[in-house]
Structure 1
Amino acid sequence: MRSRFAADPGLTRRMVVTMFLLGLLYVVFVGALVALGVQAVAVLLIAGVLLLAQYFLSDRIALYAMGGREVSPQEAPELHGLIDRLSALADMPKPRVAIAQSDVPNAFATGRNQSKAVVCVTTGLLRRLEPHELEGVLAHELSHVAHRDVAVMTIASFLGIVAGLMTRVALYTGLGGRRSDNQGGLPIGLIVMLVSVLVYAVSFLLTRALSRYRELAADRAGALLTQRPSALASALVKISGEMASIPTRDLREAEPFNAFYFAPALAKGTTLANLFATHPPLDRRLEQLTQISHQLGRG
């Protein structure tokens, strides 16, 4: 399904390049396992089942994990009204609408395609944002749906799942196995674990780089759809500032879901996480929105 969201050739190129590199890495990884004499069929089957479950049940899994509940137009008329307007403006099917009871101000979209999509906002976000700011956030999330970002990131994560499983298998069952040359070399299990860790690290960095760019792409597409980049910028600043007032415990509980969220929930003392961020820095996002404002000749 096509929509009126602005096309993003840069996002398309990065998706293709990332998928190609991950596919190449997958071939090399499987080849290395075969060369080492490892029977990886069971691991591949388990990883495949996990991928399919994540792909087809992504909307239900995300809503359950983050405590979201679908709401009717009677329960949340203003929220439904905004999504109705944006869906019509973007010429795309209206997604299901959900609300999560959380004081962490955030939003996310999930679902493998437009017909299975759901957009969820937290009660903390609804309390803090003005209608025009909330509209900017919702446009950002709808652009994720239009670009099928959830499906792309799910597929991109497959190699990381395989490598992670192989690391666990090697750690728990293979470290005491036979040696690579039968003459005192490294144990096969240790070699497999090291290769798996390396593959996981590379695939992790590739998917995180793609994740950061897709957030910029969603900001850009959402701002162009609403023609109000300043509203999205205002929401970003307000949400980032409000994060400081959220209890650290709540932020830590939200951190595992940062890849889904509109803005990352980072507890104090997590500076190392910036090296592996799912989102670009706030300054970079605001800089892009300022450039769009200048291009449109408005705020």
Structure 2
Amino acid sequence: MTSQLKTALLLGALTAIIVLIGRAIGGPGGMVIAFIIAVAMNVGSYWYSDKIVLRMYKAKELAEHDAPAIHKMVDDLAREAGIPKPKLMLVPQQQPNAFATGRSPSNAVVAVTQGIVQTLSPEELKGVIAHEMGHIKNRDILIQSIAAVLGGAIMILANIAQFTAIFGGMGGNDDEGGNPIAALALAIIAPFAAMLIQMAISRSREYLADRTGAALCHHPEHLASALEKISAHAQRQPMKGANPATENMFIISPFSAGRAAHLFATHPPVEDRVARLRSMAGKV
């Protein structure tokens, strides 16, 4: 199954959960209201999340005269990907890592840490930047935002469902779809299921960005080697002040390995990513 198809199916699963909870609460009325609220809550984060995250990690724009070689990498890869050149930002962290943000290719940002610039070879760094370009090209920020909207709607509906189960239906009877027992069961199960689906979407997009990045830089081994180095450093040196809410944005989780079981991980296992990349050698 391709990553694109898997993402579509997972987004469909999130939508199905919303429909089920809405029906259990007492019909589509409450579902529509909760979904509108969730959209309103997430629109702001979609438009301003890039500024929030960059400010959170104290990222500063990296001038071309300060890093001409890195800027050339970004120029070349943007041309290869057919997207505008994103801004290049430097994060003052010693852990090697990187992320992309911005709601569309026209206002995208690639952020690299001080540690990754110092640790990786130029070829490996180009592989990492190519991966982040892959996220931009594939519009992963938009897809993650859609998943967040759906997840937010599920959380709101789950809270409504709990009140419905305790205090009675929302103006409907069982013939109209209201079922307090089903509402309570879904209120417990649905947020957990939504979290797992959102994490599965994140992992699927990482695999796709790896594949896209390998194609852009034409050397899968460079990205594979970079992932191994970054992972080894992350295990020894978790990122200072890293926010769990931004974990899925980084090329490797900024937290040490073992923070969560694979089922709850925002990233696929590094070993699997490396194996897939090395299987692409000579094919891109």
TM normalised by structure 1 equals 0.81
Q: Report the alpha carbon displacement of residue 229 of structure 1 after superposing the two structures with TM.
A: 1.1
Q: How many residues align?
A: 275
- Structure 2 matches for 1:47-62, cutoff 5 A? 47-62=38-53
Comparing 221-230 and 42-51, the one that deviates more: 42-51
Cα deviations across residues 18-50 of structure 1 (Å, max 9, x unaligned)?
222222222222222235x99567644432222
TM-score (norm 2): 0.85
SS of the residue 1:161 aligns to:
helix
Higher relative contact order at CA 8 Å, sep ≥6: structure 1 or structure 2? 2
The answer on 1:110 being equivalent to 2:101 is yes
Q: Distance in 2 between matches of 1:109 and 1:203?
A: 24
The runs of 5 or more residues in structure 2 that have no matched partner are 170-178
Where does residue 289 of structure 1 map in the other structure?
A: 277
1:220 corresponds to which of 207, 211, 228: 211
- Percent of pairs with identical residues: 31
The whole-number CA distance in structure 1 between the counterparts of 2:223 and 2:81 is: 17
Q: Does 1:278 align with 2:266?
A: yes
The residue that corresponds to 1:46 in the other structure is: 37
**How many angstroms apart in 2 are the aligned matches of 1:62 and 1:118?**
11
The residue identity in structure 1 corresponding to 2:250 is Y
User: Partner of 1:121: helix, strand, or coil?
Assistant: strand
Query: Are 1:72 and 2:59 an aligned pair?
Result: no
Distance change in 2, residues 1:273/1:106 (3 Å): same
Q: Would you say the 8 A contact 1:140–1:222 is kept in 2? A: yes
Q: Does 1:265 align with 2:254?
A: yes
In 1, Cα distance between the equivalents of 2:235 and 2:252? 13
2:112 pairs with one of 109, 121, 132:
121
Query: What is the match of residue 183 of structure 1?
Result: none
- 4+ long deviations beyond 6 Å: 188-191
Query: In 1, distance between residues paired with 2:110 and 2:188?
Result: 34
Decide whether aligned partners of structure 1 residues 190 and 143 sit closer, same or farther in structure 2, where only a CA change above 3 A counts.
same
Distance 1:230 1:152 in 2: 27
- 8 Å CA contact 2:151–2:198 kept in 1: the answer is no
Alignment of 1:1-299 (within 5 A): 10-35=2-27, 43-167=34-158, 174=163, 177-178=166-167, 192=183, 194-246=185-237, 248=238, 250=239, 253-267=242-256, 270=259, 272-295=260-283
1:88/1:206 CA distance change after superposition, 3 Å: same
Unaligned stretches of 5+ in structure 1? 1-8, 181-187
Q: Does the CA-based 8 Å contact 1:160-1:199 persist in structure 2?
A: no
Q: Is the 8 A contact 2:21 2:158 kept in 1?
A: no
SS at match of 1:293: coil
- The root-mean-square deviation of aligned C-alpha atoms, in Å, is 2.8
Q: CA separation of 1:28/1:104 partners in 2, compared to 1, >3 Å: closer, same or farther?
A: same
Tell me by how many angstroms 1:75 deviates: 3.5
